[in-house]
Amino acid sequence: MNHTGANTRTNAVAIIPARFASIRLPGKPLLEIAGKPMVCWVVERAFAARNVARAIVATDDQRIVDAVKSVGYEAVLTREDHATGSDRLAEVADSLEEAEIIVNVQGDEPLILSETIDRAIEALLADEECSMATTWEPIESISEVLNPDLVKIVVDEADRAVYFSRAPVPYPRDAVLRHGSIQTALANEPDLLTNFRKHTGLYVYRRSALLEFATWPQSKLERAEALEQLRALEHGVKIKAIKASASSIGVDTLGDLERVRAIVEKEVANYA
């Protein structure tokens, strides 16, 4: 079976990093959702994007390679010693000389919309000063603002990333002074929530920029926040940041998995 993208107007290649090891969900990419491994749902979403010509799963485990290839999709076995997902991405991208654009679609995002992928690719192509693009979603609760596992992004008026942080940024100083704490400020002034954006894990790179990025050592801010995208900002890379077409669910816990399973099974039943 040979799979190609819905449209090849661009020579964008989606690479889907998928590690077998996961502290909370071992073997996460192969966990079944409506009878199919999670990573295969991600591949299907990537292929549905009209700007994606090719999709490749990049993994450090032969079991994932075998599962992906068994349904006719591409998968490559990468080195096991990569420090970051971008390094794994760059290993595969290095051999894709025909690709102008590399799209990093996380292997645990089975609900990501193809429209979001397309919009991110098109936003990068439209802004020649940017070497990367990424996406964000609105934050809708105080718990999300305060959750250090949820990365916040600050965006300027040109829709470019200013900073990424696990802390609540931008910090509402005056409101905190009025109410005594950020939690109380957000509770009493709910409109403050509109100032916060949740960063989502989709990245689009110009291939040359990705390969250069992978040669840079970890930066101080990257180590402090454990966020590799800060390495790009510290090197002066301009990152386009657009709103996702709709919210997605990254599968990090068993609860996430059950929510996604329920959504996908309902979708499958509606199409049956």
- Enumerate the domain spans of the chain: 1-112+249-267, 126-199+208-247
CA 61, chain centre distance (Å): 21
Q: Is the pLDDT of residue 168 over 90?
A: yes
Check if CATH label 3.90.550.10 holds for domain 126-199+208-247. yes
d(CA 117, CA 138) in angstroms, rounded, equals 17
Q: Is the distance from CB of 230 to CB of 123 less than 8 angstroms?
A: no
Question: What three-state secondary structure class fits 130?
Answer: coil
Residue 220, phi then psi, degrees to nearest 5: -65, -45
Higher pLDDT, 126 or 82: 126
pLDDT score recorded for residue 248? 85
Tell me the pairing of strands 239-243 and 132-138: parallel
Work out the pLDDT band at 25, boundaries 50, 70, 90: confident
> What confidence score (pLDDT) does residue 82 get?
79
Q: Report the 10 Å Cβ neighbour count for 242.
A: 19
Share of the chain above pLDDT 90, in %: 81
Q: For residue 149, which amino acid is it?
A: D
Distance CA 114, CA 209 (A): 23
**17 — pLDDT class (breaks 50, 70, 90):** very high
Say yes or no to pLDDT of 263 above 90. yes
Given this model, what pLDDT does residue 252 score?
A: 85
How is residue 170 written in tokens?
Answer: 């931008």
Amino acid at the residue 170: P
Q: Looking at the domain that runs over 1-112+249-267, which CATH code has it been given?
A: 3.90.550.10
CA distance 182 to 175: 8
Query: So what's the pLDDT on residue 6?
Result: 47
Strands 32-33 and 36-37, sheet pairing: antiparallel
| pLDDT score at 272 | 64
